[in-house]
Structure 1
Amino acid sequence: MSDVPASPLRHRPFVLMLSAAVGAFAGFALLLPVVPLWTVRQGAGSVIAGASTGVFMASTVLAQFAVPAFVRAFGYRAGLVLGALLIGVPTPLLAVFPSAGAILATSFVRGLGFGLLTVCASALIAELLPSESVARGSGLYGLAVGVPQLVGLPAGTAIAENWGFVPVFVLATVLPLVAILPIAGLPRSRPRDTARGGLRGAVDVAAATWRPWLPMLAVSTGYGALATFLPIVLSPSVAAAALLVVPGAAMFTRWLAGHYGDRVAAPGRMLLPALAVGGAGLLGFALVSETDGLAAVAVVAVALFGVGFGVVQNDALVAMFARAPAAQASVAWNVAFDAGQGLGAVALGALISGTTVATGFTLLAVAALAVLPVAWQAGRTTPRNG
């Protein structure tokens, strides 16, 4: 029994970080499908709806590249506080200034906050926990960010449809600000390891992490497309069910992957089957997305995607931690996650405007399945950092 690592939940700073993540990600999840819907209701088309997510994710990625330097100077706690403020405080402007340009500008500012939050929180998994607990810690972090998405994605849409958009905007303002309370209890920690394994600069980090990075990009692209356009292409009841199923499946399988990963101690080994499952789910949804009477099959297809998405999330992050310092690995993983979401939203919006929903999702599925050889290599290459 002495060989079994202590549960990450026995580590108070880690628990505080998880608590903060719940509130901050709730503010993100509530608005992810609602802002595109709000944009359409203001008279804009599918391209602008997709761009609202794309701009958010683009600014997220820009901020993420600056986070390692920021946390070296000011620490992780300051990054989390600033991130919560930026994602919460500008939200009411969506209702006050509903023009397309103002919505995109507000999304840009909120994305900067999300970039700070995502990198700081996921880096703290490796900074706060011993290496033998990182996979389980990542799985628990998946629960902390998955529960808000499980509830927030369908709830945001349902509240907007039944009670209006303003209540959603209020909730998405308050919840990230409440997250500052547990953040205040975190230590003033800075990166404890910025040059492990001789890695220097973005080029070296990219060279070390690109194999797990590409599968992560592939599934997050599919997720961004689903989260943005399910409320637009499906009926409200079916969309709500699908938006509940995708993050639910992803959250559960990410948690399972964390428990399994700490036992097999082989980062990256689950990427190949998980990516295959996720790609199959996207393809299945593409085949039924425009067929009446197959709503249940569509929900099953996106659930299958969620299963693969959750496992890829966990295994890709652990594989990157094994190859690069925590802050840089967190940047790489989060850039794949968030750039993929933005790419999926923008690309599918453009494809739908010129072709069909089925064609758009088919192309996303093919792109994901094309990365399978890289996922296979990621599970069999020796980590430079381990």
Structure 2
Amino acid sequence: MSHALPDTAPSAPAPPWHHRDFRFSLLASALAFSGYALLLPVVPLWAVRQGAGPFAAGAATGVFMASTVLAQFASGALVRAQGYRAAMLWGAVFLGAPTPLLMLWPTAPGILTVSLLRGIGFGLLTVCGSALIAELLPRESVAKGSGLYGLAAGLPQLLGLPVGTWLAQHWGFVPVFVLATALPAASVAPIVLLARIHPAAERGRRSGLRDIVGATWRPWLPMLAVSTGWGALATFLPIVLTSPSSSVALFVAPCASMFARWAAGAIGHRVGGPGRMLPAGLAVGGLGLAGFAVLTSTGSDGASWPAVLAVALFGLGFGVVQNDALVAMFARTQAGPASVAWNVAFDAGQGLGAVAVGAVVSGTSFGVGFGLLAAWAFALLPVAWLARRAG
């Protein structure tokens, strides 16, 4: 049975300037996301140091992610009206420009206001950056392009999360704020070099909410499952595992995820068939969560390093699902709506994972919480198989 993309005619090669614009979009995303990653662990720390309290520290991340998701939903109207270049410029401005206000307004209202504004910018950049994969590349190159975009988005987080914390602790907060302002500002240069790109109109692809949900729910649910797992791990790893194994796990998981996403893109580019790797990726991610649940339920310090290996296994599945779910969504609906759906699953899933496991753990244990996440991943394997077969 063929798993080719819906169009029967082969796609024409993308013009050379489209490949150039794709490289510009990757560079812009890498620079802007570096500014995001530097501040992700630093803003809560800044809130505590300024006496805003632990509630403001946690609320800063919550407000950031909430405004990110709202901006992702609203991005379609902005892109249709002004194009991708203008939307990315607004994203870079909102992500970087409010950052100095953290020094000028270091109270809880100020920190939350800055977080809200920066979340708007991050939401616009994530949707536009991933949508441009399908807008700029020929269909047969979308999987490979998604893998490269994963590197552009993953490397800044892999480096920025520990570097931001280290700079704040050793050099102070001001250098971090300066960098987090300058890097999104630097992304303006490659954004300006982009052509004026508007969403491509595709015959036979309706973009109403009901149509988008009907087209994307099969790859969307597996994506939500693994992002929920990652949100829970990122939140509770420092609590469940002792140092230094917790720090190693927080590095290994995104590293494995980034590598697996890139590899899935390279493999998908050769074998074709969007969604083919979703069942395997979801199964591997579920096994990692199940292993982590079993090992942490023992309560033994000797289980820490095997738990790190379980987290690494989850990271591999997470990366594969990230790439293949996005490619599968591109194959089923227009680039903009597909990008919104994927990014909402990613960002909302992270918050859902932290909240859900926190609620379960309050009455049971971490083993039960992560075991339920693993069970959910395994329960969605039939859906992942449908996503593999339906195009």
Q: Same fold (TM over 0.5)?
A: yes
Residues 1:294 and 1:36: Cα distance change in structure 2 (over 3 Å): farther
Tell me which amino acid in the other structure corresponds to 1:108.
L
Tell me which amino acid in the other structure corresponds to 1:130.
P
- Asked if residue 90 in structure 1 is aligned to residue 135 in structure 2, the reply is no
2:343 aligned partner: 334
The 10-residue stretch of structure 1 (260-269 or 153-162) with the greater mean CA deviation from structure 2 = 153-162
Q: CA RMSD in A?
A: 2.8
SS at match of 2:389: coil
2:318 aligned partner: 309
CA deviation vs aligned residue, 1:316-349 (integer Å, no higher than 9, x gap): 0110010001111111111111111222233344
Measure the CA separation in 2 of the matches of 1:287 and 1:91. 42
2:308 aligned partner: 299
Shift of 1:89: 2.0
The 10-residue stretch of structure 1 (137-146 or 348-357) with the greater mean CA deviation from structure 2 = 348-357
- Asked if residue 72 in structure 1 is aligned to residue 83 in structure 2, the reply is no
Residues 1:278 and 1:243: Cα distance change in structure 2 (over 3 Å): same
Shift of 1:23: 0.9
CA deviation vs aligned residue, 1:245-303 (integer Å, no higher than 9, x gap): 11211111111111111222211111111111112222323334454243322321221
SS at match of 2:229: helix
TM-score (norm 1): 0.88
Q: What aligned pairs does 1:43-82 form with structure 2 within 5 A after superposition? A: 44-45=53-54, 50-82=58-90
Q: Contact (CA 8 Å) 2:14, 2:137: kept in 1 or not? A: no
Shift of 1:371: 1.8
Measure the CA separation in 1 of the matches of 2:80 and 2:247. 41
User: Structure 2: 5+ residue runs without aligned partners?
Assistant: 1-10
User: Structure 1: 5+ residue runs without aligned partners?
Assistant: none
- Asked if residue 254 in structure 1 is aligned to residue 266 in structure 2, the reply is no
Residues 1:108 and 1:317: Cα distance change in structure 2 (over 3 Å): same
1:143 aligned partner: 151
Q: Contact (CA 8 Å) 1:54, 1:345: kept in 2 or not? A: no
Q: Contact (CA 8 Å) 1:25, 1:148: kept in 2 or not? A: yes
1:183 aligned partner: 191
Q: Contact (CA 8 Å) 1:32, 1:227: kept in 2 or not? A: no
2:374 to 365, 373, 377: 365
Q: Percent identity?
A: 65
SS at match of 2:204: helix
Measure the CA separation in 2 of the matches of 1:30 and 1:352. 30
Tell me which amino acid in the other structure corresponds to 1:298.
A
Tell me which amino acid in the other structure corresponds to 1:371.
L
Shift of 1:100: 4.5
Measure the CA separation in 2 of the matches of 1:43 and 1:237. 29
Q: Contact (CA 8 Å) 1:33, 1:231: kept in 2 or not? A: no
Q: What aligned pairs does 1:100-249 form with structure 2 within 5 A after superposition? A: 100-193=108-201, 195-231=202-238, 233-235=240-242, 237-249=244-256
Measure the CA separation in 1 of the matches of 2:84 and 2:332. 21
Shift of 1:60: 1.1
The 10-residue stretch of structure 1 (314-323 or 80-89) with the greater mean CA deviation from structure 2 = 80-89
- Asked if residue 24 in structure 1 is aligned to residue 32 in structure 2, the reply is yes
Give the paired residue count.
Answer: 378
Measure the CA separation in 1 of the matches of 2:379 and 2:321. 15
Measure the CA separation in 2 of the matches of 1:9 and 1:219. 35
1:323 aligned partner: 332
Shift of 1:49: 5.2
- Asked if residue 343 in structure 1 is aligned to residue 361 in structure 2, the reply is no
Shift of 1:120: 0.6
Measure the CA separation in 2 of the matches of 1:265 and 1:368. 24
Measure the CA separation in 2 of the matches of 1:48 and 1:284. 34
Shift of 1:44: 4.3
Measure the CA separation in 1 of the matches of 2:261 and 2:205. 30
TM-score (norm 2): 0.87
Q: Contact (CA 8 Å) 1:153, 1:243: kept in 2 or not? A: no
Shift of 1:161: 4.3
| Structure with bigger gyration radius | 2
